[in-house]
Chains A and B, each alone.
Chain A
C-alpha cells in the first residue's frame, strides 16, 4: 500500500505505464509473434532518443527558457565528420569518437558564448548556432556517402545477451548521468539554478560555470548520439538529426521533467523514449497511413501530458 503510493508519486511511472500499454496492444495485434523483435527494435531506437534526451534534460533543468535547438545539426555534423575521418578503417574508431566529442565541445562552447556574451535567449542562440553547424555539415558532406568502419558497424547493430549494444551504451550513459544528477554537487547545482537562479547565485553557486558545463554536456551527448546513429545506419545523412529536435524535447517532458526547470528525472526519459517509438510502430502494425499516424502520435502525446502533467504548476 505504502510502496505503491510511493511508486505512484514518481513522475516517471506514467511514461512506463503508457509504454507497457502500447507494447501490449501491439503484441496483441501480432499475436505475440514479434514480441522479441519489437522489444529489441524499441530498445535500439529508444537508445538514441535517450542519449540525446539526457543532454536536453540537463539543459531544460536549468530553468525557463533554457533549451538546446542545435541538437539535430550537431548530430549531423558529428556523424559526417567522424565517418569522414575514420574512412572505413577499423583502427580509426577511437579517433572518430574523439573527434565527435571535440565537435560537441566546440558547439557547446559556441552556444554558451552566444548566450553569455551576447545575452541572447538560449532558444535563439542555439538556433543561430545550429544554422552555422548545419552549413558546415552540408559543406563537408559533399560527395559520396562514407560507410562506417566494419567493426564499428557490427558493434552498433549487434546485441549482447538479447539486449542491443546501443541500448547498453545508453544505459551506461544514463547511469553516469544519474550519478551526476543525484549524487554529485553538480546535480544539486543545476537543480538549484533551475529552481531559482537568483537564490543560487546568492548562495555562491558558480551559476555561469554550471550553465557552461551543461550546454557542453548536452552538445557532447548529441554528437556521441550522432556518431552512433551514423554508424548504426551505415552512413551519415544531412537530415539524420532532424527528427531528434522535437524528440529530444518530447521525451524529456513526457518523462516527467518539469519544463519550468529545477526538477529532472532519468528513468522517465527511458519510459518516454520507448513509448514514442512503440506508438509509431503500433500505428504501423495497425496499418495506418502517414497522415493518421502523425495525428494519432500528436493526440497520444497530448493525452499523456493531460493525464500526467498539470500536477504542479509548470508553466
Chain B
C-alpha cells in the first residue's frame, strides 16, 4: 500500500488523539457515552475554529499573536450587541473581518513582520473588549445557545461540528484553487505571482477568511459559556498555534492540514479532560499539559524518522 505524505502527516495526530481517547476511556469508562463524549469535547468547537483561523494565517507564512484577544473581543460582541441588536452585531463582525483583511494588506505592502503587527492589534482588540464588557457579563443570543447545546441523535454536537469544520476547510484549503493559491503564497509567493494571481489580494482574502473563522470561534464560545468577559479566550493564541503544529502544520512553506488542525485542537481539549480524570493536583495541570505536548511531538518525530527510513530504502 502506498501512502501519500499528506496522509502520513495525518496519521500521527490522529493516532495520538486515539491514544489519548483510549486512555480516558480506560480511566473513566462512563465517558464512553453520548453525554460523556459531549462533555469531553464540548469546548473543542471554539478552539477548533480558532485553530483553523491560525492555520490560514500560518499558511501564508505569518503568525497571528492577536488570536486570543480577537476571539475574546468577538465573544464580547456576541454576548452584547449580537444579543440586543443583531444587525449592529453583524455589522461589527463585518467591520472586524474588514480590519483583518486590512492587516493582511498592510503586512504585505510594507513587508512588516506579522508578529509585531498582530502583537499591536492584540492590544487594540483587548482594549475594545474591555470597553464592551468591563466586567464579566452579557448574555448569549438564544439561537447560538440552542445551536451549541443541540442534541442530534447518535453523535454529540461537538463531534458533528468538528467533522463539519474539518470537511469544509479541507475542501476550501486543500481542494479549491483558492486554497492552492493560499498555500502557494506560503510556499513560493513569486511563482504564485507569475502564475497570474495577485498576492496582495490573496493575502487579504486569507486574513479575511481567518477573521471569519475567529468570529465564529468567539460566537461558538459564548454559546457554550452563556456569558463573556474580556479575557475569556486569551489562551487561544497559544492553543491555536499548538493545535496547528500538533496537527502536522509547519511555520513556513504553506504546509498546513485543516483536518490535522481540527484533530490537534481536539487533542489539546482532550488533554485537559484527561488530566482532570487522572486526578493530578491543579498545581501540576498546566505542567502536565506541556508534557503531553512534548510527548505527542516526540511521537511525531519518531514516526517521521520511520518515514524517511522507508524512503531511503
List residues of A whose CB falls within 8 A of some B CB. Answer: 64-65, 69, 114, 118-121, 123-125, 127-136, 138-139, 142, 246, 249-250, 253-254, 259-260, 289-302, 305-306, 309-310, 313-315
Partner-contacting stretch, out of B10-18, B41-49, B154-162, B288-296: B288-296
Contact indicator B289/A131 (Cβ below 8 Å): yes
Contact indicator B112/A246 (Cβ below 8 Å): no
Task: Tell me if B113 counts as interface (CB < 8 A to partner A).
Answer: yes
Interface string of B50-78 (1 = CB under 8 A from A): 00000000000110010000000000000
Q: Interface on chain B toward A: helix, strand, loop, or mixed SS?
A: helix
Shortest Cβ distance from A302 into chain B, in angstroms? 4
Q: Which residue of B lies closest to A297 (CB)?
A: B123
Within 8 Å by CB of B127, from A135, A292, A302, lies A292
Task: Tell me if B200 counts as interface (CB < 8 A to partner A).
Answer: no
Interface string of B277-311 (1 = CB under 8 A from A): 00001011111111101100110010000000000
Chain A residues within 8 Å of B241, by CB: 123-124, 127
Residues of B93-142 whose CB lies within 8 A of A = 106-107, 110-117, 119-131, 134
Contact indicator A135/B251 (Cβ below 8 Å): no
13 residue pairs A–B, Cβ–Cβ below 8 Å: A120-B294, A124-B242, A130-B290, A134-B287, A136-B287, A249-B116, A249-B119, A253-B113, A253-B116, A301-B116, A309-B116, A314-B112, A315-B111
Contact indicator A131/B116 (Cβ below 8 Å): no
Chain B residues within 8 Å of A253, by CB: 113, 115-116, 119
Contact indicator B113/A260 (Cβ below 8 Å): yes
Contact indicator A124/B115 (Cβ below 8 Å): no
Task: Tell me if B238 counts as interface (CB < 8 A to partner A).
Answer: yes
Q: Interface on chain A toward B: helix, strand, loop, or mixed SS?
A: helix
Contact indicator A131/B298 (Cβ below 8 Å): no
Shortest Cβ distance from A298 into chain B, in angstroms? 3
Known contacts: A310-B110, A314-B112. The answer to whether A298 contacts B290 by CB under 8 A is no
Contact indicator A128/B131 (Cβ below 8 Å): no
Contact indicator B120/A302 (Cβ below 8 Å): yes
Q: Which residue of A lies closest to B106 (CB)?
A: A306
Report the Cα distance A142→B284, complex, angstroms. Answer: 13
Shortest Cβ distance from A259 into chain B, in angstroms? 4
Shortest Cβ distance from A140 into chain B, in angstroms? 9
Report the Cα distance A292→B128, complex, angstroms. Answer: 8
Chain B residues within 8 Å of A298, by CB: 120-127
Contact indicator B252/A259 (Cβ below 8 Å): no
